[in-house]
């Protein structure tokens, strides 16, 4: 099973964003990060999601609001039914 594309929408001083990045780095997974405070395109995408906070994590087409280690483990291990 190949790893799906991982995208993170973050903010600089967000502790949950930092934990999410560390999670992916620890697992050796590549991800694309967009800072919603610094990047206008990221702000627009974030607004389209209707998100209320960061991080917003996209694993393939699946969106996770917040850092949810158990859900991420399930998705990346292929055991999530979403």
Q: Which residues of the chain have pLDDT under 50?
A: none
Nearest alpha-carbon partner for 37 in 68, 18, 14? 14
pTM of the complete model? 0.90
The pLDDT assigned to 69 comes to 97
Domains recognised in the chain with CATH numbers: 6-76 (3.40.30.10)
């Amino acid at each position: 099973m190949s790893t799906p594309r991982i995208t993170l929408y973050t903010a600089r001083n967000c502790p949950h964003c930092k934990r999410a990045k560390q999670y992916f780095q620890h697992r050796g997974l590549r991800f694309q990060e967009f800072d919603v405070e610094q990047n206008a395109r990221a702000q627009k995408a974030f607004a389209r999601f209707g998100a209320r906070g960061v991080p917003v994590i996209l694993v393939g087409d699946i969106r996770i609001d917040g850092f949810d280690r158990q859900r991420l483990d399930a998705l990346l291990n292929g055991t999530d039914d979403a």
